[in-house]
A and B are shown apart, each in its own frame.
Chain A
Amino acid sequence: MTEFLQQLVNGLSLGAIYALLALGYTMVYGVLRFINFAHSDVFMVGAFAGLYLAPIVPSGSILGGILVVLGAMMVCALLGALIERFAYRPLRSAPTLNVLITAIGVSLLLQSAGQLSFGAAPRAFPAVFPARALSIGGLDFSSNQVVVLLVALILAVALRFVVFRTKMGSALRAVSQNPRAARLMGINNDVVIRFAFLLGSGLAGAGGVLYATNYPSIDPFMGVLPGLKAFIAAILGGIGSIPGAALGGLLLGLVETFVSGSEYSTYKDAIAFALLILFLIFRPAGILGKTRVEKV
């Protein structure tokens, strides 16, 4: 039983990070209908931003940790907006395939540029939050796991507020539902799309720092697998759906943690893909999404 609860906590904290990343995928998919392959590398940049910010804030304190997370979020939001402006906007009317390939290109560019500037070898990530081993009722976990869950929860609540309670948020939802109608209603789609990138990339930045605090070494290719899995999570939850992304992230984090703890741990990375394929084939709309019939 304690074993189970232990894995549950581990799974939730991994899932929370997937969820943060998945939110960015789902928002961009909502407004532009394509997989932003570069999102996972924005996440990586977030981790490195944290690495370079850590020495200039009070180390191992809550305030320092918050500053690092906020800083990484800002760096990534900016990066996301730049990518949107220079790589994706010129392709607004191009076929999806071209945008997809461009996104892969941007992803590779960030990885290789990261490799040149940060080096290919893994780097140790400093303890930005106060690190303590906690033990409650026989459960062992680190304070970092608590931090991950708390920060993710706060960000999710904040995102919910932005999307459902602000003007920009309603514009975002309007554009996801029907870009053409939104434009007719006087919404500037470009501004909304940039906003989606700012938000999504900011969350990825926070995710990068949180991931790095829990798995304390980072490298320029660290984003690839978590990124793919977060996208899978977004699909499991129902692509385009914000609660779906959160749900899918947590679910995938749990599944993966429990598989890692079992005798099939070496198949961990294949399981996510197998889930993806099963979902795409049998329930492409995901858990919370709606199926649509193509109009002819």
Chain B
Amino acid sequence: MSAPLLQLTQATVRFGGLTAVDALDLTLQEGELVGLIGPNGAGKTTAFNLITGLYSPASGSVAFSGRPLAGLAPHRIVAAGIARTFQNIRLFGSLSVLDHVRAAGNLHRTASPLHALLRLRTFRESEAAVTARADELLALFNLSCFRNTPARSLPYGEQRRLEIVRALATRPRLLLLDEPAAGLNPQEKIELVALIQRVHREFNLTILLVEHSMRVVMGVCQRIAVLDHGKKIAEGSPEAIRQNPAVIEAYLGPDHATGLFHH
């Protein structure tokens, strides 16, 4: 069997005295859609920042497709095939929606900056290809009508979607989604779930999803890992996680035995 797509081995991140991610083991096989949940401050975002190279591990390692990621700059990790979205939306305020996707298409443009100066056919063809692909993605995500809108004047739900589109435009193999449904209304959440499933299928992606909305996580994930205080306290199918006493305790404290996920 080939190496797993993503493998964290005893990965640890510390901030001063605080261990935000504590000896985390996590493995994703190609094509999986895995949920990562846990109470606030459990270390989910920190784990993402570790995988994407924003933080480096105090100990342990991260490997992608069998290749260690240690020491790679964030943009190199993207080039290797890992893209992400941000929990607190980080768009390029002054760039239009289309330009976000074009900017992320840079990894796959064929013309060099020198071509941009000469403005010859190679350049024009490369630009046209990048724009065409960007438009395709925008259409898929229902963002075409906002094509020329600067990101900072985009409605909130669309901003969340644009984060995903920008990540997809880098043509990743692994997509990390950090609370993509946060702040959306129930209707938008349903649409987003459908979209995530569709993207997972059509783009042949592996997805790691952080989400507080249990409805979303239980609905789409094949497997779920639970973090608490940086440690993995459980892992398994949605069914198993739903009934795991350790998980219930982590979320509600020791006195609540039942009824967490049944609202």
Contact = CB atoms under 8 A, between A and B. Distances in A.
A adjacent to B, CB under 8 Å = yes
Contacts of A293: 15, 55
B49 interface: yes
Contacts of A296: 45, 49, 54, 86
Interface in B73-97: 86
Interface string B52-74: 00110000000000000000000
Interface in A253-296: 293, 296
Interface in B134-165: none
A293 B56 CA distance: 12
Interface of B: 15, 45, 49, 54-55, 86
Nearest to B55: A293
A244 to B, nearest CB: 20
Nearest to B49: A296
B68 to A, nearest CB: 22
B33 to A, nearest CB: 24
Nearest to A290: B16
Nearest to B54: A296
A123 B63 CA distance: 69
Contacts of B45: 296
Contacts of B86: 296
6 contacts: A293-B15, A293-B55, A296-B45, A296-B49, A296-B54, A296-B86
A293 B50 CA distance: 13
B38 to A, nearest CB: 17
A161 B45 CA distance: 43
A296 B49 CA distance: 8
A293 B49 CA distance: 12
A293 B55 CA distance: 9
A54 to B, nearest CB: 53
Shortest 6 CB-CB contacts between residues of A and residues of B? A296-B49, A296-B54, A293-B15, A296-B86, A296-B45, A293-B55
A205 B67 CA distance: 61
A296 B45 CA distance: 8
Nearest to B178: A296
A157 B173 CA distance: 61
Nearest to B46: A296
A83 B54 CA distance: 40
B82 to A, nearest CB: 15
Interface string A232-264: 000000000000000000000000000000000
Nearest to B15: A293
A289 to B, nearest CB: 15
A296 B90 CA distance: 9
Contacts of B54: 296
